[in-house]
Amino acid sequence: MVTGDGERTAVEEQREVAVVIGGGGGLGAATSHRLAQAGTHVCVVDIAADPAQRVAAGLVADGFSASSHVCDVTSSAAVDLLAAGVAERFGAPRVLVNLAGAVRNAVLAKITDADFELVLGTHLVATLHTVRAFAPAMKERGYGRIVNTSSVAARGVVAGISYGAAKGGIEALTRSAAIELAKHGVTVNCVEPGVVATGMFLSTPGEFQRSQIAQIPAGRPGRPEEIAACIAFLASRDASYVTGQTLTVCGGLSVGALR
């Protein structure tokens, strides 16, 4: 169903709403599609209009319900406006997925303050903004699913101090938020992917890609759809007794260091 700017239909009134932050990327598109398959209206959010519109239009063309939204999630004011706008138009979301991110890798001696702040802002601070903005309505309704995104880089990675620090912070934020929100029926979990065959990884030099894949016991990078399936589980009613957890989805990378 195409969701327009007019009044919501009875079907739309009953449909659950999910907000996918960073929905214009490869993992965002896969996650949006997986959530839409469950009959959810997906609000595809990205900092740029074109990627969000492309993903939302693709979902609508496949017969699903979706809308596109532009938001700079590093701005708390912009996120607050997004939350209010989504609630007014579609109803309070029951699912929030955080996938926004940026990479500015450098070895310790070459990290700049600007790059470090950009990476932490886009990952960690933005996650705070969205969780803080969308959680109150979930608490009020007594139900909600929040899924954040970390990375195996949180365990330590060469030339990845900014990225690893941001992702480690997200895992800590997830645990603390889960403790606060559990009694309100709201779960907060985190997915920790390894190497995934999306634009970020595929844009790196071939030699680097081969060296990374060689470390993965499964012998290949993950597919976006595989990560999206784990996100969809944590965002579902079936995961009602799972909260404050980080699910590592890495083809064995996190346990294969001593092969």
Which residue type occupies 120?
L
Q: Which of 2-11, 129-138, 250-259 has the lowest mean pLDDT?
A: 2-11
pLDDT single digits (tens) 103-146: 887 888 999 999 999 999 999 999 999 999 999 999 999 999 99
> Cβ neighbours of residue 33 under 8 Å, at least 6 residues apart?
58, 59, 62, 64, 228
Residue type, position 18, single letter: A
Query: Domain 15-250 falls in which CATH fold?
Result: Rossmann fold (3.40.50)
Residue 163 a catalytic site member: yes
Amino acid 176 reads S
Number of C-beta neighbours around residue 163 at 10 A? 22
State the pLDDT at residue 256: 66
| Residue partners of 130: CB distance under 8 A and separation at least 6 | 19, 21, 73, 79, 83, 96, 98
Domain definitions of the chain by residue range: 15-250
Segment 67-93 shows an average pLDDT of 98
Q: Exposed, middle or buried: residue 198 (CB in 10 Å: 0-12, 13-18, 19+)? A: buried
Cα dihedral sign for 171, 120, 33, 221? Answer: negative
Q: Which of 131, 163, 166, 249 is catalytic?
A: 163
Q: What is the pLDDT of residue 14?
A: 58
Residue 1 is predicted with a pLDDT of 35
